[in-house]
Structure 1
């Protein structure tokens, strides 16, 4: 009985089915959490980049 349980635990430990899916879900969850925490800073950086790009494009056409 004990050997069957030990073999079951070893089999479960070696089983990697679905591991890639779990990793992807965890990565997505972490990315969403980071975006939610730093949302205001991300918006500010993007607005600054868009403003800089607009200013530089005006210099090219002048």
Structure 2
């Protein structure tokens, strides 16, 4: 008797239509993960270049106001 209820519940679970949205979300999440994995390296390389440029500019600007020879004012 219990086994037939379990089998009936499983059968109803597989034929339900409302569970399809969960599968669709899983597929969408997998696609987003694949795209991020593909483009992560070029994006990170571009960000490294931008931050290196900003760091170099800030360092050269900070050093421009210092007197030559390391003396203090």
TM-score, length basis structure 1: 0.44
Q: Which has the higher contact order (CA 8 A, sep 6+)?
A: 1
TM-score, length basis structure 2: 0.40
